[in-house]
Structure 1
Amino acid sequence: MSHVEREKQKLVARIKRIRGQVDAIERSLSSGDDCADVLMLLANVRGGVNSLMAEVLEDHIRLHMLTEKSSLPPTELAEDLIDLVRAYLK
């Protein structure tokens, strides 16, 4: 169980970093910084969120889909994975 707790702590730490990045965007917009600087901050947040989404999605696949649905035929499992990726990575 401690392994799961360490993973949760890592994910929470990532969210805190993203929150700090969003705060930096707000400060940058409020102070009238250059558009290029704001765009770079936005790209950083997008990268952080995408990375977090990928990690949580990977954990979901490994911990839930591949164990709970292991009795599914490979083609049905593949379709479930494709649906999952399409739903969350739009």
Structure 2
Amino acid sequence: MPKQIEDKKKILVRVKKIQGQVHAIERALEGDTPCAAILQQICAIRGAMNGLMTELLEVHLKDTLVAGESTEQQRHDELSDISKILKSYLK
């Protein structure tokens, strides 16, 4: 969880936008929207999710590895955890 209020607000705004995009796809599927338009919206959501991942990762690294008061072992463990998450994300 982001430690800075402004970071948390920015991330929550991104999540709410993504929720709006997902709801738009739901409405499009319930309606008569052409598949190409729905596929384009899915692409937009994927880009938004990538942006969310990037921003949250940046905040997390800043909060835990740069600004955090942690031992070398804790930083090593955190880096290992983040590496596993990134490998999973990039599959």
TM-score calculated relative to the size of structure 1: 0.74
C-alpha separation in 1, matches of 2:35 and 2:71: 49
Shift of 1:47: 0.9
Shift of 1:68: 5.3
C-alpha separation in 2, matches of 1:50 and 1:41: 14
C-alpha separation in 1, matches of 2:90 and 2:52: 12
Equivalent residues, number: 86
1:24 is aligned to 24
Give the RMSD, CA atoms, in angstroms.
2.7
Matched AA of 1:58: E
Unaligned runs of 5+ in 1: none
2:83 is aligned to 82
Cα distance change, pair 89–56 in 1 and its aligned pair in 2 (3 A): farther
Matched AA of 2:32: G
Shift of 1:89: 3.6
Cα deviation, 1:38-85, whole Å, max 9, x if unaligned, reads 00011111111111011111222222134456625xxx68x7253342
Contact 2:7–2:59, Cα closer than 8 Å, also in 1 = no
1:5 is aligned to 5
Cα distance change, pair 70–85 in 1 and its aligned pair in 2 (3 A): farther
Point out which structure has higher relative CO (alpha carbons under 8 A, 6+ apart). 2
TM-score calculated relative to the size of structure 2: 0.74
List, as ranges, runs of 4+ consecutive aligned residues in structure 1 with deviation greater than 6 Å.
none
